[in-house]
Amino acid sequence: MAVISADIFKKIRQIQIRTSHTVSDLLAGAYHSAFKGRGMEFEEVRPYQPGDEVRSIDWNVTARMNTPYVKNYREERELTVMLLVDISASSQFGRSDASKKQFIAELGAILAFSATQNNDKVGLILFSDRVEKYIPPNRGLRHVLRVIRELLVSKAEYSGTNIEVALKYLAKVQKRKGVCFLISDFIAQACPKETRIISKRHDLISVCITDPYEIELPNIGLINVQDLESGSEYLIDSSDPNVREAYRQETEKRIQRQKKLMTACKSGFIDIRTDQEYVTAIRDYFKLKEKRR
């Protein structure tokens, strides 16, 4: 791991302590149940016991031993979890002590620790309007801490967002079926073609991150606002209820657009606000996915 400052190390350590307890207490079992391995692998034969499925009897061994034996299987786990994280300029939006970027770092840690506790590999793709960084999938605490570090400190060289580029890159580097969390505010244009391609090959889940100020514009009169990705500035009257309502509707349309796309692709969608409890939303999705399986 690269040399890091004491301040960043402290943040990583705080996130590790906070999220690892959450994973142990609330999410690990739900994650394991929601995301099964690639199949079942034969492990051994053992003597038949009352209650065993008759279909699992190994008739060849039973004939040789002159007593019933059954085949025992274990889940062939070995999953790869990819975190595709939008680090474009809009991720800097939010209060100075709680930007979307900081929130996403903790959320990424939760998902990474859930995976590593099940001995699954974790990889990371950071993107803006191009891929900014790629960390190949690996296991272990040291690797997860590196992922958290990159989520905290990586800065995009470019300000825009291009989800299509990120999904195409994922298709190149991740050939085997995996679980892919696409974490973004989805301000960018939707890309239905690439989303469908990835959804057929991988278990794709969109995690939509929204700051409360993106939904409820504060009533403070005339204000200058800037599009963080394009740099354009606008003067708006936040005291006008029609302006505030149009602002809210625009954010809602953005969220619903991505949700409808994921539903059409039979893939997952989690809507999370930075001022609300997110662990429950993740756990509820894991449980819902388990039921649908």
**25: burial class by Cβ within 10 Å (0-12, 13-18, 19+)?**
exposed
CB 148 within 8 A of CB 104: no
Instruction: Give dist(CA 132, CA 153) in Å, integer.
Output: 12
For 83, the token pair is: 């975190």
pLDDT of residue 4: 59
66: left (phi over 0), alpha (psi -120 to 50) or beta: left
pLDDT at 192: 94
How far is residue 166 from each of residues 19, 105, 138, 254, measured CA to CA in Å?
26, 18, 19, 19
pLDDT digits (tens, 9 = 90+) for 203-231: 999 999 998 888 888 888 887 776 666 66
What is the pLDDT, as a whole number, of residue 25? 66
Residue numbers of the chain with a pLDDT score lower than 50: 1
pLDDT at 76: 57
73 contacts 171 by C-beta, under 8 angstroms = no
Write the CA distances from 134 to 96, 123, 173, 174, integer angstroms.
27, 8, 9, 11
Copy the structure tokens of residue 188: 């960018």
DSSP letters for the chain: -----HHHHHHHHHHHHHHHHHIIIIIHHHHHHHS--SEEEEEEEEE--TT--GGGB-HHHHHHHTS-EEEEEEEE---EEEEEEE-SGGGG-EETTEEHHHHHHHHHHHHHHHHHHTT-EEEEEEESSSEEEEEEEE-SHHHHHHHHHHHHH---SS----HHHHHHHHHHH--S--EEEEEE---SPP-HHHHHHHHHHSEEEEEEEE-GGGTS----SEEEEE-TTT--EEEEETT-HHHHHHHHHHHHHHHHHHHHHHHHTT-EEEEEETTS--HHHHHHHHHHHHHH-
User: Residue 278 has which token pair?
Assistant: 């997110």
Largest CA distance in the chain: 88
> For residue 126, what are the β-bridge partners?
85, 133
List of domains in the chain: 6-34+78-292 (3.40.50.410), 39-76 (no CATH)
| Both structure tokens of 286 | 């894991």
> Which tokens go with 28?
């690990």
- 145-193 per-position pLDDT tens digit: 899 899 988 888 888 899 999 999 999 999 988 999 999 999 888 899 9
